[in-house]
Amino acid sequence: MRIDKLLANIGFGSRKDVKKMLKTGVVKADGEIIKDPKTHVNPEEQNVTVNGEKIEYKEFVYLLMNKPAGYLSATEDEFQETVLDLLEMEDAVYQPFPVGRLDKDTEGLLLLTNDGQLSHQLLSPKKHVPKTYFAVILGEVTEEDSKAFSKGVELDDGYVTKPAKLEILSSGNQSTIHITITEGKYHQVKRMFEAVGKKVTYLKRISMGPIILDEEELKIGEYRELTEDEIEALRQAQPIDL
Ligand code: URA
């Protein structure tokens, strides 16, 4: 890759800025000063440094975030904060995007990556991996609801959902549940409860395929890179029938 493109990609400014920087002789590859912006380097094999500091280049970034309420799952918005506003510059320069969406008021597990292929694989209807949510529901959630969800319920637009697994954790005027779905329709969980006459008052995603949110490790608003094993597990993730 051309040195100017590489340095611009990882946040050293525009190609013009990088060209100026190169002229000052601060960039080296394997100890040799590079001044020509057209020079090709391989950051995985060569030791590329700027002011003596080795640059870390990777093509893809894979992040696991514990999303707070109040942020849009989008890459930009004119007026509202997006989950990208929670990223450090060193991660934002890779231009990751959210893998699917969580509503603004939904919390919990959100993957961000710039690997379009993996994102597509995780979200494509045929390969959709299961996603589990914890929710607080206004109203008494019953075994009837579990049965209805296991068959699929009709949403307000006439769409009948695929079978979903509902586990009742506590039931009363206010109930708590876990629900696992294999689709990603707009406001799906909220609309499924509306279909049985109940209202979701709090929603948090706790797992997506093989990735489970550990809230001890990742406090709300925090994120970390996925490990190699987790990325591989996501690549291997298979759709399941509930
Ligand atoms: N279902 C919803 O209703 N909202 C979300 O954010 C995710 C699933």
For the chain, the structural domain boundaries read: 3-54, 62-119+216-235, 131-208
Which of 149, 166, 183, 187 for mutating ligand 1's site (highest number of atoms within 8 Å of CB)? Answer: 187
- Overall average pLDDT of the 188-195 stretch: 98
Ligand 1 atom nearest residue 73's Cα: 6
* 129 within ligand 1 shell (Cβ under 6 A): no
Q: Please report, as a single letter, which amino acid is at residue 27.
A: V
Catalytic residue among 17, 36, 103, 157: 103
Longest Cα–Cα distance in the chain? 72
CA torsion, ordered 69, 185, 218, 44, to nearest 10 deg: -120
What integer pLDDT is reported at residue 11 of this predicted model?
82
Q: How confident is the model at residue 58 (pLDDT cuts 50, 70, 90)?
A: confident
- Give the C-alpha separation, 88 to 238, whole Å: 32
Evaluate whether the domain defined by 3-54 bears CATH number 3.10.20.30. Answer: no
Same topology, domains 62-119+216-235 and 131-208? Answer is yes
Q: How confident is the model at residue 26 (pLDDT cuts 50, 70, 90)?
A: very high
Mean pLDDT value across the chain:
95
CATH topology of domain 131-208: Alpha-Beta Plaits (3.30.70)
- In this predicted structure, the answer to whether residue 228 has a pLDDT above a threshold of 90 is yes
pTM of the model: 0.87
Which of 133, 149, 185, 202 for mutating ligand 1's site (highest number of atoms within 8 Å of CB)? Answer: 133
Q: Answer whether 223's CB lies under 8 Å from 66's CB.
A: yes
CATH of 62-119+216-235, one of 3.40.50.2020, 3.20.20.70, 3.30.70.580, 3.40.50.1220: 3.30.70.580
* H/E segment holding residue 8: helix 3-9
- Overall average pLDDT of the 48-68 stretch: 93
